[in-house]
Amino acid sequence: MKIDLGHWQVAASTQSHADRPLAIEARGLVKRFDGFTAVDGVDLIVPEGAIYGILGPNGAGKTTTLRMLLGIIDPDEGHRRVLGAERPHDVAHAIGYLPEERGLYPSMKAFEAIGFVGALRGLPIVEGRRRGRELLEEHGLGYAADRQIRQMSKGMAQQVQILGTLVHEPRLVVFDEPFSGLDAINQGRLEKMIRALADKGTTVIFSTHVIAHAERLCDEVAIIAGGKVPFAGPVDVARDRIRPQVRLETREPDGLWRAALPADARKEGRFWHFSLPESGVEPLLRALIESEAGILTLSIERAGLHDAFVAIAGEAAARALEENADTEHMR
């Protein structure tokens, strides 16, 4: 008999937002461009120290939302508070920002580029360059410290810009599609870096169209589609929008235990498949044991974030998300 409950866990209780300082609070953000509403009433609450993902296809409003949060553009309606400030520019020195459009001066050396980005956030240029060399060494790029940006691959230059985003040791880091353009190895390194930042208490918010990154990294996500946010909250809560799925195989094909199966139970080959009942699995287990059904396999698996995204945002948004991921993979 095999019983696997490893994928079914009750969502852990999370500390309420009311009890945690907020890095970002946005209410009713609206942004229009030439009559087109790019962002339509977005609400976001990001606790300090969280890894927070904004998940949606290209064109959903992710970049516009981030730019409003950072004060690069102002909302037409709504308000935002960033690190306690009504005006994001007042706390710009405490924010690191990696824009979707990457850009470094090609003639600068790597350590100089990092120092320059830090200087834009108030870090003295000499200190920024010193830290730049240290960061490059720490992240396995020490050999390229004196190499000009134009002499680097696209992926290596992107890593330099990421380090520039962090050189002034910000309290809040905002990445716009940070994994775009990175190979699998460097994507893994960036994931590790994001976790290390959160471990130190830094708040990290990033946009992505790749569900796997959000599922592996994020404490909470905002799902955005068509400029609206139909869901914002813990990843576990998003996944729990879909009931866990049960797979059952018994030695005896029939018996009184069949009456304990839920109405949506269907048989495929040797296995029964159905949604976990509201009452849990225990009543079914009792019926199986009392009827001597002979449990060969019983597994319960929670829905993944992809299935939750489909349920929340709809099939069209999910297809757009997958198309974005396929296009990125082909580059």
Domain with residues 20-234, CATH architecture: 3-Layer(aba) Sandwich (3.40)
The predicted structure's pLDDT at residue 10:
38
Residue ranges of domains in the chain: 20-234, 245-301
Q: Which residues pair with 204 in a beta bridge?
A: 51, 173
Separation of alpha carbons 329 and 320, rounded Å: 14
Separation of alpha carbons 214 and 305, rounded Å: 8
Separation of alpha carbons 259 and 290, rounded Å: 13
Nearest to 90 by CA among 67, 120, 70: 70
Query: Residue 130: what are its φ and ψ, rounded to 5°?
Result: -65, -45
- Identity of residue 241: R
The predicted structure's pLDDT at residue 307:
87
The predicted structure's pLDDT at residue 123:
96
Segment-wise mean pLDDT, segments of 10 residues, the chain, 331 residues: 48 50 95 94 95 92 95 96 95 95 90 96 96 95 95 90 96 94 88 95 94 92 93 91 90 91 92 89 91 92 87 84 65 53
CB-based burial of residue 259 (10 Å sphere; 0-12 exposed, 13-18 middle, 19+ buried)? exposed
Beta strands in the chain (DSSP E): 2-7, 22-33, 36-47, 51-55, 77-82, 95-98, 172-176, 203-208, 220-225, 228-234, 245-250, 266-268, 271-275, 295-301
The predicted structure's pLDDT at residue 193:
94
| Residue-by-residue DSSP string for 258-319 | GGGS-TT-EEETTEEEEEPPTT-SHHHHHHHHHTT--EEEEEEEPPPHHHHHHHHH-HHHHH
The predicted structure's pLDDT at residue 138:
93
Nearest to 320 by CA among 218, 225, 222: 225
Contacts by 275-280, CB closer than 8 A, 24 or more apart: 275/243, 275/244, 275/245, 275/246, 276/8, 276/243, 276/244, 276/245, 276/246, 276/300
Yes or no: say if 299 and 274 are a contact pair by the CB < 8 Å rule: no
Separation of alpha carbons 40 and 33, rounded Å: 12
Tokens in use for 235?
A: 């990843």
CB environment 184-216: b (16+ within 10 A), e (fewer)? eebbebbbebbeebbeeebbbbbbbbbbebbbb
The predicted structure's pLDDT at residue 268:
93
Strands 245-250 and 95-98 turn out to be unpaired
The predicted structure's pLDDT at residue 154:
86
The predicted structure's pLDDT at residue 15:
46
The DSSP letter of residue 32 is: E
Q: Which residues contact 164 (CB under 8 A, 6 or more apart)?
A: 104, 113, 114, 116, 117, 118, 132
